Structure 1
Amino acid sequence: MSWEPRTLAAVLAEQVSQRGVQRALVTPDGSTMWRQLELQARRVARALLARGIKHGDFVGLLCGNDDRWVASFYGAAMIGAVTVPVNTRFKAAEIAYCLRQSDVRLLILADRFLKIDFMGYLREAEPAVDHALPGTELPLLDHVVAIGDDVPRAGLGWDAFLASGEEISDDALDAAMQAVVPDDLLLIQFTSGTTAHPKGVMLTHDNMLRNATAVGQRLGIDATDCYFNCRPFFHVAGSTLSLLCALCAGASIATLPTFEAGAALRMLDQERCTFISGNETLFQLLIAHENFDRTRLHLRGGWAAAGPDTMRRIIDEMGIGRICWAYGLSEASPNVVLNDWRDDEALRVGGFALPHDGVEVRIVDDTTGKVCASGEVGEIQVKGWGVMRGYYKQPEANAKVFTADGWLRTGDLGALRADGRLRLVGRLKDVFRVGGENVAPAEVEQVLLSHPAVASAQVVGVPDARLGEVPAAFVTLKPGMTLDAEALLAWSKPRMANFRTPRYADVVTDFERIGMTASGKVQKNKLREHAIALFGLAN
C-alpha cells in the first residue's frame, strides 16, 4: 500500500469533492450527504474556536453514535483539537477520572442517553457546572455543551454553541486548519478496562487514517458500499475501523445510537448494508436473534475478531463469504493483522493473517524474554507506524508497555507460522495454571462453541485447593435449544485434556448482568468474581 500522510480534514475534503451529494452517514434520524457532513463539521470547528479551543486542546465527547458525534469529532480534528471519547457506560467517578486525566477543556455531552442521566453524573463530578466554570474538581474544564433540554447554568445548549461560532470568519477557520499536520494527535482513546483502570492511548491523524485505509484495502471496501457499524464510536473499533474506514474508502456508514441485535438486523436490511464488522459476541447475538433471516441480508464482506467456530457460522449462516479475521488493540490504532478478502477461506476461518505492510510482529517468551521460533506460543509484540505515541501523562505505564528495544507489549498470546501469519491464542493475563499446565480460556471456549446448543462461551480460572485453579465455563444457548450444566460438563470431558476440561459450568441468559464493556467484551475479572460466589469458592 502506497501511503501519503494526510489529516482527517484533507481526507474529508477529498471525499466531498468527489461525491458531495452522495450519502456519507445514515442514522435512524435520516441520511447526511458528504457536503452536509463537512458543513456540519466546519460549524463545530468555528464554535470550538469561538470558545477559545486551540490546536492541541482536548475536547471530550459523551453521547451515542449519531451525526453530532461525527460532526464534533471531525470539527475538532479540523482545527487540531484532540477528541477524548468518553465511554457511555462510565459512571460519575469514571467520567471525572477520564476528563481530569486527559485535561479536557470543553465537553460535549448528551444530557440523557439510554435513560442514563449524564448531566446528573457531570454535576456529581463537577458541581460548579451549575454555577460557573472552571470549578475545583475539574479545574481545566472551561466549557460544557449540552445536547438536550437540561442545560446547566455554566453551560451552553447545542444550538447556542453552534450559533456562537458564526463570529468566526472563513479566513480564521482556514488558518486554523492549515496549522494541522498528520503527526498531530487526533484522539485520546481510553482502553476498555476489562482488567485494570483505563489508560489514555495517544493516536495521531496518521496512525488512525493509515490504519483505516490499510484495513479498507484488505477488506475490499469501495465507495459503492454501505458499511454497518456495530460498535460505539467511543471505541477505536468504531472510530478507526468503522467510521474512518468508511471515510477513507468513500463508503457510507450506517449506525445506531447503540447496538441492539433486532434493530441492527432491521437496519442491515433497510439500508442494504454490504459490510459489517465486530467481535465474536456481536455476531453471535445477530445469528441467535429471533428475527434473524439470512434472506434479508445483503452483506458481502467485513471483519470479525472471532474464533473458527463463529467464523464458520458467519460464512454459512449469514452468507458473508468474504469475511476476514482481524486482530488488534487500541494501542496499535488498532488493527495489527488482517486477512485479505482474497485469502483462502481456510486461512480466514482459522484466523491466520499477515501484518500490514510496515508493521512488524514478533513472539516473545514471557519467562525468558527470548524471541520464539515459528509455531511457539508467546507474547505478541508489535512495532511500526500503527503503534501509539504512548499513554497520556502515564510514564510508568509507558515504561511497562514498551520493551527496551521499542516494541509494544500487547499482553496477548500468539504464534507466528513460517509464512509470517499470526495465530491468536488468548490474553496473557487471562491464562491460568491448572496443576502446572497453562490454560488459555480461548482454547476451551472454542471447544464449547462446537456444541450444537451453545451460542457463546466464556471461561475463567477459579480457585482449587489441589490444582491451584480450574476452569469454570459459562454459556448462552441458541434459540429453542436446551442444555444443563451437568450435560455440558459430561460432553466436555472426552473432548479436552483433563486440565482444560471445565470443573464448573453454568448456563446464562446473557453476560450483561455479570459485566461487559461497551465494546462487547465480557469483563473476565467480574466473571471470575461471579463464578467464585456462584460456586461457593470463596475462602
Structure 2
Amino acid sequence: MTVVLLPTPAEYADPHYALHADGTRIERLEDIPRRRAAATPAASAVRTATATTTYAELDRDASRVANALIDAGVGPGDRVAYLGENSAQFLATLYGASKAGAIPTALNFRLAPPEVEYILGDAEPAAIVLGHGHEHLAATARDAGVGLVVTLAGPDGYDAWVAAASDVDPGYARDPGETALMFYTSGTTGHPKGIELTGANLGQAVAAMHYLLELDTTSVALAPVPFFHVSGLGLALVAAINGAELLLRNPTSPADLCTILQEYRVSHAVAVPTVIQFLLTLPEVRTGDWSALKYLVYGASPMPEPVLREATAVFGCKFLQSYGLTESTGGVTMLSPADHREARKLRSVGQPMPNVPVRIVDPATLVDVPPGVRGEVLIGGGHVMRRYWRNPAATEAAITPDGWLRTGDGGSFDEDGYLYLHDRLKDMIVSGGENVYPAEVESVLTGHPSVAHVAVVGVPSSRWGETPLAVVVPAAGRTVDAAELIAWARERMAHYKCPSDVVVVDALPLTASGKVLKTSLRSRYGGAGR
C-alpha cells in the first residue's frame, strides 16, 4: 500500500515547498534538513530560550555530526543513541546519524542508570550523545561497551567534537525499506523493546500529519513531549518539512507551559490529556491570550469528555485527536476539528486516516467483529513498524503473518466508522462475569467537580473476582468523599461498572510519555478482599 503526498497547486508554485519535486513524500530522515536548507536556508528551524538555529545551520551541523561519526568508525546500520532533553543538538544528531547511514536511537532520559544500562546492552550503540545534566551516565555507557561517548558539556564536549569535523554532506541515502529510526517501549509490561521504524514508515506518517495540521513557514510549533516519544519527534519532523519554526522549550510545570505558549505565540502544540487537565486547573489559563494557538493535538490516552469540553471552551483553537502507537509510527486515526463540534463523536478517537486500514477483531480468533461489538484493534498498511529489535518472538506475537499489528487495545467501530477505545485489553476488568472498561468509568468520574484526575484499575475481590478501584487526585481546594463519588457514578452508569472503593492520592504515577502507570497502581492497591 503506497501513499503519495501530492502538493496543492499553490504549493507547486511555492519555491519554498520542501517535498520532492515529483510530489512524492520524503522517505529519508537525512533528506529533511537537506531539502529545507535548500528551500529556506535563512529561516528559523529551531528556537530556544537563548538561541536560534537556521535551516542552513541545522543542515550544516548535521553534516558535521555525520562526518564526526564516520571519522570515529561509525557506519551504516550502527546505532547512534541520544539521551537528553529536546534540543537543537538532539536534532543535529538525529539527522547527522542518518546522513552517516546509522540508526538514530532516542532514549528516555528519565530512566534510572540500571534501566539505561539494559537498553544500551540491548541496542549496542556505537556512539551516544548525552544531553545536559546526564553526563553522569558516561561511565554507564562505557561500561555497557559504547565506544564513543560525547557529552554536551565541557571543553572537549559536543561543540568541539563537531567543530573538528567537515561540514560537507557525506551524501548517504538510505533505502526507504531499511530501519531509519529506533525508539524503545516504556517497559510497563516488562523489559523495554526496540521498535524499528523504516523511512517508508516515517514518510507515510509525516504525510498524514502534513495534511492534517496546516503548517507553513509562518507557524510556530511546540512539542513539549520528549523526542523519545513518537508524537513529540513527529511534530518536529513535519514542522521541518513545512519550514515552520520549532520552539524547543522544556516546560518545568503546567504554569510554565501556559506562559511559553503565549509568550512565543505558539500556533501548533502537542500535549497528552493529563497535561491538558493540569493546564485547566490554572486560573491564568482562563484569562490568557490564545489568539495565536491554531491547533492543539492530543492523544496517548483517552480524554475524558468533560475535560475535552472544557478545554475546547477555554482555548478556542482547533482540536485534533490522533490515536496510535510507537509501533504504528504514531497516529493512525483522526478526530478532526469538525468532529469535535459533534457531541456524540467526542467519545471516539476519530476515523482511520486515508490509506491506513484498521480492523476490530475477536482477540482469540482474529475474526472481524461487526460495528458496535468490542474487540482488539488491529492496524495494517505502511504505518506498521518493521519489527522489534533483535526480538523475533515479540515481533511474531505483535504482527500477524499477513502484516497486521496487534495493538492490545480494546475498541469498537460505530456504523459511521468512528473508532471508540475501551482500554488496553489487559486493563479490562472482569467483575462478576461482566466486562468493565476503565476509560468509560474514568470519563464519568472526571465529571465530578471534586475530581482533578482519576485512574480506574481492577483489584481482586473475594465476591466478584475483580472490582473497579478509583484512584483519585482531588481538584484544588476540594476534598473527595468516597461514598459521594461512588453514588455519583451509580447515578450515571450500571452499578457493576462503578468503583467499589476510592483511594485519594496527591498525584498519579505517570510514564515518561504522560500515560498513567496502571501497573504501578495495580501493584500498590491490589490487595484481595475488597
| TM above 0.5 | yes
User: In structure 1, which of residues 285, 296, 318 is the aligned counterpart of residue 278 of structure 2?
Assistant: 285
2:123 is aligned with 1:102: yes
Corresponding letter in the other structure for 2:111:
F
Structure 1 residue 500 displacement after superposition: 0.9
- What do residues 32-66 of structure 1 show as CA deviations (whole Å, max 9, x unaligned)? 22222212222211211111111211001111111
2:135 is aligned with 1:138: no
- What do residues 270-291 of structure 1 show as CA deviations (whole Å, max 9, x unaligned)? 1100112222101111211354
Partner of 2:21: none
Q: Secondary structure at the match of 1:192?
A: coil
Partner of 1:49: 70
Partner of 1:363: 360
8 Å Cα contact 2:473-2:506 kept in structure 1:
yes
User: In structure 1, which of residues 187, 191, 213 is the aligned counterpart of residue 181 of structure 2?
Assistant: 187
Partner of 2:333: 337
Partner of 1:311: 308
8 Å Cα contact 2:412-2:419 kept in structure 1:
yes
Structure 1 residue 342 displacement after superposition: 4.2
Partner of 2:475: 478
8 Å Cα contact 1:102-1:188 kept in structure 2:
no
8 Å Cα contact 2:461-2:529 kept in structure 1:
no
CA distance in 1, matches of 2:86, 2:506: 27
C-alpha RMSD of matched pairs (Å): 2.2
Matches within 5 A, 1:366-445: 366-445=363-442
- What do residues 66-125 of structure 1 show as CA deviations (whole Å, max 9, x unaligned)? 11111111111222211111111211221111111112110111362xxxxx444442x3
CA distance in 1, matches of 2:278, 2:131: 27
Partner of 2:159: 159
CA distance in 2, matches of 1:77, 1:304: 28
CA distance in 1, matches of 2:59, 2:114: 35
Aligned residues: 504
Structure 1 residue 401 displacement after superposition: 0.6
- The 1:159/1:18 distance shift into structure 2, 3 A limit, reads closer
- The 1:120/1:368 distance shift into structure 2, 3 A limit, reads same
- The 1:372/1:239 distance shift into structure 2, 3 A limit, reads same
Matches within 5 A, 1:24-103: 24-103=45-124
- Please report the TM-score for the alignment, with normalisation by the length of structure 2: 0.90
CA distance in 2, matches of 1:257, 1:49: 31
Q: Secondary structure at the match of 2:346?
A: helix
2:32 is aligned with 1:11: yes
Structure 1: tracts of 5 or more residues without a match: 113-117, 130-136
CA distance in 2, matches of 1:538, 1:159: 59
Structure 1 residue 8 displacement after superposition: 2.1
Comparing 306-315 with 44-53, greater Cα deviation is found at 306-315
CA distance in 1, matches of 2:529, 2:164: 58
CA distance in 2, matches of 1:477, 1:275: 30
Structure 1 residue 484 displacement after superposition: 2.9
Q: Secondary structure at the match of 2:408?
A: strand
Q: Secondary structure at the match of 1:108?
A: strand
8 Å Cα contact 2:25-2:207 kept in structure 1:
no
Q: Secondary structure at the match of 2:288?
A: helix
Structure 1 residue 259 displacement after superposition: 5.4
Structure 2: tracts of 5 or more residues without a match: 6-23
User: In structure 2, which of residues 320, 324, 340 is the aligned counterpart of residue 324 of structure 1?
Assistant: 320
8 Å Cα contact 2:361-2:375 kept in structure 1:
yes
Runs of 4+ in 1 over 6 A off after TM superposition: none
Matches within 5 A, 1:294-309: 294-297=287-290, 298-305=292-299, 306-309=303-306
- The 1:293/1:254 distance shift into structure 2, 3 A limit, reads farther
CA distance in 2, matches of 1:74, 1:293: 39
CA distance in 1, matches of 2:409, 2:67: 42
- The 1:163/1:231 distance shift into structure 2, 3 A limit, reads same
2:444 is aligned with 1:450: no
Partner of 2:523: 529
Structure 1 residue 538 displacement after superposition: 8.1
8 Å Cα contact 1:484-1:506 kept in structure 2:
no
CA distance in 2, matches of 1:292, 1:507: 26
Structure 1 residue 525 displacement after superposition: 0.6
8 Å Cα contact 2:185-2:195 kept in structure 1:
yes
Structure 1 residue 436 displacement after superposition: 0.7
- What do residues 388-447 of structure 1 show as CA deviations (whole Å, max 9, x unaligned)? 001010011011111233211000011123333222221111112101111111110010
8 Å Cα contact 1:411-1:429 kept in structure 2:
yes
User: In structure 1, which of residues 200, 206, 219 is the aligned counterpart of residue 200 of structure 2?
Assistant: 206
8 Å Cα contact 2:205-2:331 kept in structure 1:
yes
Q: Secondary structure at the match of 1:233?
A: coil
- What do residues 125-165 of structure 1 show as CA deviations (whole Å, max 9, x unaligned)? 35xx4xxxxxxx534x211111224x9xxxx6213321342
